[in-house]
Amino acid sequence: MSDSPKIIDGKATAKAVLEQCRVEVAELTTQGLRPGLAVVLVGSDPASQVYVGSKTRTCEDLGIYSEKIELPTETTQDELLEVVRSLNENPAIHGILVQSPPPPHIDEDAVVRAIDPAKDVDGFHPENVAKLALEDPSGFIPCTPNGCMELLKTAGIETSGKEAVVIGRSMIVGKPMALLLMGREGNATVTIAHSRTRDLATVCQRADIIIAAIGKPDFVTADFVKNGAVIIDVGINRIPDSSKKSGFRLTGDVDFQSVSKKCSAITPVPGGVGPMTIAMLMKNTIKAARQIGNV
């Protein structure tokens, strides 16, 4: 295969999505419906702090009203549920997300179930999971897999009739990704691989499209990849790197060096799927405002 695959530019695609969001937010605000997002962070996980910061900054940039609610690590389950309940009732807030992962004493499933499904812009509430499976367009699709679909679409990559292998079966990425690819929009033939899959490389070799969502740096190597395959790397792994000011560098789940010599298109890390996740969150917040406000 060619030595220079198409690099699928998540930054540029996200920028285009955000510009469209900016226009919609201005229109809605003129009509008296300013979309609002509340982001709740419990504890002081450094990666979570970065994610929460960029979510609220993006809101501010687009004109979306945002509330950042930072709670101490020792916040109890009941206290957190009370915060969620009051956000459910708050008319200025259309989207609510509780940043994952919360501290271990918090029952994350119970917190997700406490969020009003109409404000569940992460798309993790069982009602929205069901709507995704049912392909009900009023539901909220989890932002990362939705961003992957948007990237495939804008990069002009045909998924219909293609063999797709999704590596990872989490509720945040792998499962919704597989549903989207196999659904009416994707029309792909989908295999879901996971930690118990036997001979993963062979399973992946038949894929026209590989979505890697594993959480292991550089795990997918060239021997997994058929010539000309399309690679979407969801992984974000922090690797200690003393040459960086932050003390780490980011790498994906795909060994970009070797895989890019075989594939036809690939997302970089950073600058691929990551920026799309926030862009789709903004889209979901606007959708929530429209649905709640009947606009």
Residues at the interface with ligand NAD (CB under 6 A): 144, 167-170, 172-174, 193-195, 197, 200, 213-216, 234-237, 253, 273-274, 277
Q: How far is the CB of 230 from ligand NAD (least distance, A)?
A: 17
Q: How far is the CB of 217 from ligand NAD (least distance, A)?
A: 8
* CB of 47 or CB of 295, closer to ligand NAD: 47
68 three-class SS:
strand
* CB of 80 or CB of 273, closer to ligand NAD: 273
Strand pairing class (248-251; 237-240): antiparallel
Task: Give the span between the Cα atoms of 165 and 167, in whole angstroms.
Answer: 6
**Closest by CA position to 98, among listed 89, 265, 6, 88:** 88
Active site residue 99: yes
Q: How far is the CB of 26 from ligand NAD (least distance, A)?
A: 26
128 three-class SS:
helix
Two structure tokens written together for 227: 């010539």
Residues 267, 151 contacting (CB under 8 angstroms): yes
Cis peptide bond upstream of 270, omega within 30:
yes
* CB of 6 or CB of 216, closer to ligand NAD: 216
Q: How far is the CB of 275 from ligand NAD (least distance, A)?
A: 8
231 three-class SS:
strand
Count Cα neighbours of 257 within 13 Å in the Cβ-side half-sphere: 4
Q: How far is the CB of 32 from ligand NAD (least distance, A)?
A: 33
* CB of 33 or CB of 272, closer to ligand NAD: 272
- Dihedral sign for Cα 84, 141, 148, 196, please: positive
Residue least distant from ligand NAD (Cβ): 170
Residues 119, 249 contacting (CB under 8 angstroms): no
What's the Rg (C-alpha) of the chain? Answer: 19
**Closest by CA position to 151, among listed 71, 62, 268:** 268
Q: How far is the CB of 13 from ligand NAD (least distance, A)?
A: 13
From the candidates 116, 122, 208, 233, give the one annotated as an active-site residue. Answer: 122
Active site residue 122: yes
From the candidates 99, 119, 218, 287, give the one annotated as an active-site residue. Answer: 99
From the candidates 55, 131, 283, 287, give the one annotated as an active-site residue. Answer: 55
Active site residue 55: yes
Q: How far is CA 35 from CA 99, 182, 261, in A?
A: 19, 31, 44
Residues 237, 252 contacting (CB under 8 angstroms): yes
* CB of 200 or CB of 222, closer to ligand NAD: 200
* CB of 87 or CB of 279, closer to ligand NAD: 279
Catalytic residues: 55, 99, 122
